[in-house]
Structure 1
Amino acid sequence: MKSIYSKILILAFISSSLYSYAWGLTGHRIIAEIAENHLSGKARREIKKIMGKERLAYWANWPDFIKSDTTGVWKQASSWHYVNIDPQADFKAFGQNLKMQAGPSLYTQINTLSSQIKDEKTSEKDRKIALIFLIHIMGDLSQPLHVGRAEDLGGNKINVTYFGDKTNLHSVWDGKLVDSQKYSYTEYAGLLDIKSKEEVKQIQAGTVEDWLYDSHKIANKIYAQTPNDSKLSFDYQYKFNDTLERQLLYGGLRLAKVLNDLF
């Protein structure tokens, strides 16, 4: 990873063209805020050394912001946000298919970025960039359509209307469902983060492969209940609200688990 942190950071914050890539601004910040509330003391201290005083939510959307960069420096990172996979019969088949995926993906980069952060030879700037990406793509993992199908680009090619506005299925799940709740990210994080310690441990159990399969199964349900040209409104919100909030909460708690284990 090239050490061009300062240049790209400026681009990130002056960019006014923010596209819908994953959970949107609010969703990623909710996940990061929940994760922050479950960091161990050691993880909190080590992350502060790398990131500074800003909270995780401050950086949570940076990997989407830099997609506005026109230099091509971050072009290779576009595939890090998702892993496309056809419907699989069970976890074993899913795992086999996952490991056969060609090139960098959401799946491969969680391990790659973790290794870069642990490596003492990684520069301070690159360790920070790797940590920022890890925070972001762990959020992507819990957005079901980031473990969707290649044929429709994770729902991007499935046209729907949402309260009469033309959009696509991926965009609905990235931001529209979250934003329609009208909470700030701190309000929503506080409302969702109410599980007991034992429940938190259960949610954090398992591996990255388990968590990806969890999202994959939910993606299959979303596909089945949202065909092309669907007209979505209050009934769709009601049908999937529990799923939406589950994924936001699980994303935050599982991000915390990865960061605690890393440090």
Structure 2
Amino acid sequence: MKKHFFGLALAAIMLAGSIRANAWGSTGHRVTAEIASFYLTAKAKLGVSKIIGKESLAMIANWPDFIKSDTTGQYNHTSSWHYLDFPGHISRQEFDRLLKETKGENLYSQTLAMIKELKTASTTPARKRFALAFLVHMIGDMHQPLHVGRDEDMGGNKVQLSWFDRPTNLHKVWDEYLIDFQQYSYTEYTNILTRVVTPADVKTMQSGGIPDWMYQSHILSDKVYDGSPNGAKLSYRYNYVFVNDLNNQLLKGGLRLAKVLNDIYR
């Protein structure tokens, strides 16, 4: 019974609405998770399979968003785990200072916490499943630039604009619309992004650590904000300008998730 609970719970709530905590939408998170699965070591594959059995990383990648529809309140404390905001156009030194001084549970602190839980032998199977799902999801989150965006506009949620004449906000454009515009399934998207990746590319993209990756995403958020003013009418030109950034972030997220999991199960 226990081994089926996660899947049943996921299926029951997968129609949850979009809120700030979502990132990349369902497709984007599955892309990063699927990419990661292609780059796991044998030890990492075994470690993951002991937690989720025959389920794939892509199957569990969106669970931390789906549980937002839970009415018991047991997951309310995880809302702040999906993002960490910063002022715009800050230096790396200032970024590191703010990252160090930030209090409470957030994208950075809880990514480290989930890694620690997965490394701890005494962590229960249920808790490891929880930790793995959140780790997969949060590594994806930190590569959606507006999840390390600005507090004053709630990561772009208050930046009102239009996407092909449809009123929306900047955060939702990057969560869903820009990815959906590519018109790929997550498996098609994964194959397209990984087809041309060289071993040298993998090494470069996997270099550094979580603070480095978050700062890179934050730098990209500055570009996104600068190119997406309030009231802008976004369409084909916007996709042309940002599609390479979008694809690179999805690819980096997947490759870096693989690195984190490979390090956990060395």
TM more than 0.5: yes
Q: Corresponding residue for 2:108?
A: 107
Please state how far the C-alpha of 1:11 moved relative to its aligned partner: 3.9
Matches within 5 A, 1:50-69: 50-69=51-70
TM-score by length of 1: 0.95
**Correspondence 1:14 to 2:15:** no
**Contact in 2 for aligned 1:29/1:60 (Cα 8 Å):** yes
Extract unaligned runs of 5+ from structure 1: none
Query: What is aligned with 2:147?
Result: 146
TM-score normalised by the chain length of structure 2: 0.94
> Superposed, which structure 2 residues align to 1:18-33 within 5 Å?
18-19=17-18, 21-33=22-34
Q: In structure 2, what is the Cα distance between the partners aligned to 1:55 and 1:11?
A: 16
Superposed CA offset, 1:58-93 (max 9, x none): 111010000000111000000000001112532111
Match of 2:124 in 1: 123
1:204-219 alignment, distance < 5 Å = 204-219=206-221
Shift in alpha-carbon separation, 1:5–1:96, aligned structure 2, 3 A? farther
Q: Give 1:203's aligned residue.
A: 205
Alignment of 1:109-258 (within 5 A): 109-193=110-194, 194-258=196-260
Q: Does structure 1 conserve the Cα–Cα contact (< 8 Å) formed by 2:163 and 2:235?
A: yes
Does structure 1 conserve the Cα–Cα contact (< 8 Å) formed by 2:89 and 2:222? no
Q: Which amino acid aligns with 1:101?
A: T
Q: How far has the Cα of 1:151 moved from its partner?
A: 0.5
For the residues of structure 2 that align with 1:69 and 1:7, how far apart are their CA atoms? 14
C-alpha separation in 1, matches of 2:102 and 2:157: 20
Deviation track 1:125-149 (CA, whole Å, cap 9, x = no partner) reads 1111101100000000100000001
Identity %: 46
Amino acid at match of 1:129: F
Residue 79 to residue 5, structure 1, CA distance change in 2 (3 Å): farther
SS at match of 2:142: helix
Native 8 Å contact 1:88 1:94 kept in 2: no
